[in-house]
Amino acid sequence: MRGPHDVGGLEDGPIDNSTHELAFWEKQIDAVRGVVGAKGIASGHENRRNIEQLGHDVYEKLNYYERWTAALQRQLIDKGVLTQDEIDAKVAQVRQRLAETGELELRAEEETKCL
């Protein structure tokens, strides 16, 4: 059975190989992933395996760094570094802060423009 990452030989549209400036959070997840690897908490192989296990629907909906984030979350929970409750609480805290500053609405508008 083909995984969501295994697209070799499948027909698809043209590849968008344009570059874009990385968002701050994308740089952050790259740095966190590097630290987690350097500390021996999780390897690149584990990261790839967790990305490949996301499933077709989730894999297709997420962009590159969103996949990294989802995989890293799974690894940190599996290794007992964080709990899902701790992650959920922090996400709620960040969402509240962004909503209070109006940044959450701005980001939603930016996402709509990209569609």
Q: Which residues are marked as active site?
A: 64
Rounded Cα distance, 115 and 111, in Å? 7
- Report residue 40: phi and psi, to 5°: 75, 15
How many CA atoms within 13 Å lie on the side-chain side of 111?
Answer: 7
In order of 24, 81, 100, 106, 115, the CA distances from 111 in angstroms are 15, 31, 19, 9, 7
